[in-house]
Amino acid sequence: LLLLASAAANSMLYPHARQDAFTHVTTKPTTPYSGQKPGTSGLRKKTRDFMQKDYLANFVQSVFNTLVDQKVPVEKGTLVISGDGRYFNKEAIQIIAKIAVAAGVDRLWIGQNGLLSTPAAIGAFILSASHNPGGIDEDFGIKFNGMNGAPAPEQVTNSIFEKTKQISELKMADDLPEIDISKIGKTKYDSPDGKKHLEVEVFDSTEDHVNLLKKCFDFDKIKQFVSRKDFSMCYDALHGVQGPYAKKVFCDTFGLPSSILLNCEPKEDFGGPNSPSHGHADPNLANARELCDRMGVGKDGMPIEGHKGDIPAFGAAADGDADRNMILGSKVFVSPSDSLAIIADNIECIPFFQKSGLKAAARSMPTSRALDLVCESKKIPCFETPTGWKFFGNLMDCEQYQPFLCGEESFGTGSNHIREKDGMWAVLAWLQILASKNPDQALRSKPLVTVEDIVRAHWSKYGRNYYVRYDYEGVELAQAENMMKYMSDMAGKWPADAFNGMEIETADVFKYNDPVDKSVSDNQGIRFIFKNGSRIVFRVSGTGVVGATIRLYLEKYEGPSGNLNAHPLETVKPIAELALKLSKLEEFTGRKAPSVMT
Ligand code: G6P
Ligand code: ZN
pLDDT tens readout for residues 527-559: 999 999 999 999 999 887 788 999 999 999 999
For residue 501, how many C-alpha atoms fall within 13 Å in the half-sphere facing its CB? 1
Rounded mean pLDDT, 11-17: 39
Residue 12 has pLDDT above 60, yes or no: no
Is the separation of the CB atoms in 414 and 203 below 8 Å?
no
Q: Please identify every residue annotated as catalytic.
A: 130
Residue 20: predicted pLDDT: 54
Q: How far is CA 376 from CA 150, 171, 363, in A?
A: 28, 54, 14
Residue 14 has pLDDT above 60, yes or no: no
Residue 6: predicted pLDDT: 29
Report the C-alpha gap between 320 and 318 in whole angstroms: 7
- CB contact burial 322-345 (16+ within 10 A = b; e otherwise): bbbbbbbbbbbbbbbbbbbbbbbb
Residues near 499 by Cβ (< 8 Å), separated by ≥ 6?
Answer: 528, 530, 578, 582
Q: Considering only CA atoms, which residue is closest to atom 13 of ligand 1? A: 541
541 lines ligand 1 (CB under 6 A): yes
Please tell me whether residue 155 adopts helix, strand or coil conformation: helix
301 lines ligand 1 (CB under 6 A): no
Report the C-alpha gap between 362 and 366 in whole angstroms: 12
Rounded mean pLDDT, 89-104: 95
Report the C-alpha gap between 485 and 249 in whole angstroms: 48
Confidence category of residue 107, pLDDT binned at 50, 70, 90:
very high
In the reported structure, the alpha carbon of residue 167 is separated from the centroid of ligand 2 by a whole-number distance in angstroms of 29
388 lines ligand 1 (CB under 6 A): yes
85 lines ligand 1 (CB under 6 A): no
106 lines ligand 1 (CB under 6 A): no
408 lines ligand 1 (CB under 6 A): yes
Residue 237 has φ and ψ, to the nearest 5°, of -95, 0
Residue 307: predicted pLDDT: 83
Residue 275 has pLDDT above 90, yes or no: yes
41 lines ligand 1 (CB under 6 A): yes
Residue 446: predicted pLDDT: 83
Residue 1: predicted pLDDT: 21
- pLDDT per residue over 363-383, tens digit each? 999 999 999 999 999 999 999
Rounded mean pLDDT, 474-479: 96
62 lines ligand 1 (CB under 6 A): no
Ligand closest in space to the Cα of 132: 2
Question: Does 121 or 293 have the greater pLDDT score?
Answer: 293
Rounded mean pLDDT, 259-265: 97
Report the C-alpha gap between 282 and 130 in whole angstroms: 8
Q: What SS3 string covers 522-583? A: CCCCEEEEECCCCEEEEEECCCCCCCEEEEEEEEEEECCCCCCCCCHHHHHHHHHHHHHHHH
Q: What SS3 string covers 360-405? A: EEEEECCCCCHHHHHHHHHCCCEEEECCCHHHHHHHHHCHHHCCEE
524 lines ligand 1 (CB under 6 A): no
Instruction: Return the ligand 1 atom nearest residue 420 CA.
Output: 8
For ligand 1, mutation pick of 130, 365, 387 (most atoms within 8 Å of CB): 387
ipTM of the prediction greater than 0.95, yes or no? yes
Residues near 133 by Cβ (< 8 Å), separated by ≥ 6?
Answer: 139, 269, 270, 278, 279, 280, 281
Closest CA to 78 of 53, 109, 102: 109
Report the C-alpha gap between 72 and 22 in whole angstroms: 23
In the reported structure, the alpha carbon of residue 471 is separated from the centroid of ligand 1 by a whole-number distance in angstroms of 13
Q: How far apart are the first and last CA of the chain?
A: 69
Q: Considering only CA atoms, which residue is closest to atom 10 of ligand 1? A: 388
Residue 358 has pLDDT above 80, yes or no: yes
Please, is 158 exposed, middle or buried when counting C-beta atoms within 10 Å of its C-beta (0-12, 13-18, 19+)?
A: middle
Confidence category of residue 444, pLDDT binned at 50, 70, 90:
low
In the reported structure, the alpha carbon of residue 46 is separated from the centroid of ligand 2 by a whole-number distance in angstroms of 17
Question: Does 441 or 24 have the greater pLDDT score?
Answer: 24
For ligand 1, mutation pick of 154, 280, 408 (most atoms within 8 Å of CB): 408
Q: What DSSP string runs through 170-221?
A: EEEETTPPPP-TTS-EEEEEE-TTS--EEEEEEE-TTHHHHHHHHHHS-HHH
In the predicted model, what is the mean pLDDT of the chain? 92
Rounded mean pLDDT, 502-521: 95
Report the C-alpha gap between 266 and 249 in whole angstroms: 16
Closest CA to 22 of 81, 77, 99, 76: 99
Rounded mean pLDDT, 489-518: 94
Rounded mean pLDDT, 479-484: 98
- pLDDT per residue over 218-228, tens digit each? 999 999 999 99
Rounded mean pLDDT, 12-39: 74
Of all residues in the chain, the percent with pLDDT exceeding 70 is 95
Report the C-alpha gap between 99 and 57 in whole angstroms: 7
Ligand closest in space to the Cα of 129: 2
Report the C-alpha gap between 411 and 425 in whole angstroms: 12
543 lines ligand 1 (CB under 6 A): yes
Residue 36 has pLDDT above 50, yes or no: yes
Rounded mean pLDDT, 273-297: 95
Residue 194: predicted pLDDT: 78
Is the separation of the CB atoms in 415 and 404 below 8 Å?
yes
232 lines ligand 1 (CB under 6 A): no
Ligand closest in space to the Cα of 598: 1
Ligand closest in space to the Cα of 325: 2
In the reported structure, the alpha carbon of residue 140 is separated from the centroid of ligand 2 by a whole-number distance in angstroms of 12
- CB contact burial 369-392 (16+ within 10 A = b; e otherwise): bbbbbbbeebebebbbbbbbbbbb
Taking phi over 0 as left and psi of -120 to 50 as alpha, with beta for the rest, 130 belongs to: left
For ligand 1, mutation pick of 410, 413, 471 (most atoms within 8 Å of CB): 410
Residue 23: predicted pLDDT: 64
Q: Considering only CA atoms, which residue is closest to atom 4 of ligand 1? A: 388
For ligand 1, mutation pick of 37, 40, 384, 418 (most atoms within 8 Å of CB): 40
Residue 22: predicted pLDDT: 65
Ligand closest in space to the Cα of 151: 1
Residue 514: predicted pLDDT: 96
Report the C-alpha gap between 300 and 312 in whole angstroms: 19
Rounded mean pLDDT, 384-412: 96
Taking phi over 0 as left and psi of -120 to 50 as alpha, with beta for the rest, 401 belongs to: alpha
In the reported structure, the alpha carbon of residue 515 is separated from the centroid of ligand 1 by a whole-number distance in angstroms of 21
For each of the domains in the chain, give its residue range(s) and CATH number, in order of start.
Answer: 2-205 (3.40.120.10), 208-462 (3.40.120.10), 464-597 (3.30.310.50)
Q: Considering only CA atoms, which residue is closest to atom 5 of ligand 1? A: 388
